[in-house]
Structure 1
Amino acid sequence: MEQVKKEKNELWEWSKALLIAFGLAAIIRFFLFTPIVVDGESMMPTLENGDRMVVNKIGYMVGEPDRFDIVVFHAPEQKNYIKRVIGLPGDHVEYKNDQLYINGKAIDEPYLDQYKSEIAEGTLTEDFTMEETAALLYEIPKGQIFVMGDNRRYSKDSRHIGLVDIDEVIGNTSLVFWPMNEIGLVK
């Protein structure tokens, strides 16, 4: 009789431990961090198609995106996109001769240096002003950001889909955890 009681108690303890573990995993997954798979080539060479990354969901609960953060957001096509923050509220974004200008000031983009050096002809980023894009505004309004993929020639970003509401941003990402030879932080 005591053996049966001991087995039931042990079963109950294991059940509680498993429930707590699953509960903690669910909380972490839905509120703190979540995995995402890079789909497409719009962030090459920084990110490759199929890279698996960790999205930090808590960073923007207490703060705002910074320029050049890599963010994941809900796109208009009911899909999640991974892009780089280029323009913040109050900014005017423009490109001339493959050079980024924010509010008329030239801004370096060191994460594009490798890609620019590999281009045989033309420029990586075509000339544009923000008001010529889908944003159709001179200045980014409060609560929105202007995003672009690093593979500027083949990226569907704010030039095409318009500005992104900060409320649509799931979080930022900089940690690749798969494939094994790519593990590490990206900038």
Structure 2
Amino acid sequence: MARGGQALARVAVVVRAGAAPMWWAGLLAAGIGALLPGLTGRRIGLLAGAALLLVTAAVVALVRRGRYTRLAAGATRAARADFLQDRAVTLRVWRRAHRWWLLGAFLAAVGSSFALPGAGGLWLAGAGAGLWLKALWLGHRERTEETLWWVRTDWLGKGPAGKPVKAYRSTGIAAGDAAPGGARRR
């Protein structure tokens, strides 16, 4: 980047990037799994899957909130030379980097249906729902504080709140092409 600028991706967009693929892959895996009788039977498998969906969504939505809050509290203002990455680019980069992991999770969820029909797929869907809830929580905080949080793209290897992330950068609420929470701006 020119004059020391950095490429920055929206934190909420990175969190939200995995929500839709996990949700839809999980529902598809659960649907395929519901067709199999499995070792425990469909009813037990789907009831266990529903419980897993709720628990996983809650855990994923709540985990690392303290780290997000600390990084947001210490955010510095983005420089004029910083490059704000588009929402579509952030989604595409995240999904390309994780496509094999998502495929493996989908296949594992379908495979687990031979023992517990539909449970693995609903677990995967719960992880997607939890990421979506976390993005909503971030969006609420962004609206409340009227600040959008950004993270350097070269620090995203372990996620937007991973160990390599030392600090967030912040901008005003109108910056970028994504609304608070990472959704498309209307």
Please identify the structure whose Cα radius of gyration is greater.
Answer: 1
Q: Where on the TM-score scale, by shorter chain, does this alignment land: which range?
A: under 0.3
User: Larger % of helix: which?
Assistant: 2
User: Larger % of strand: which?
Assistant: 1
Q: Structure 2-normalised TM-score?
A: 0.25
Bigger relative contact order (CA 8 A; separation at least 6): 2
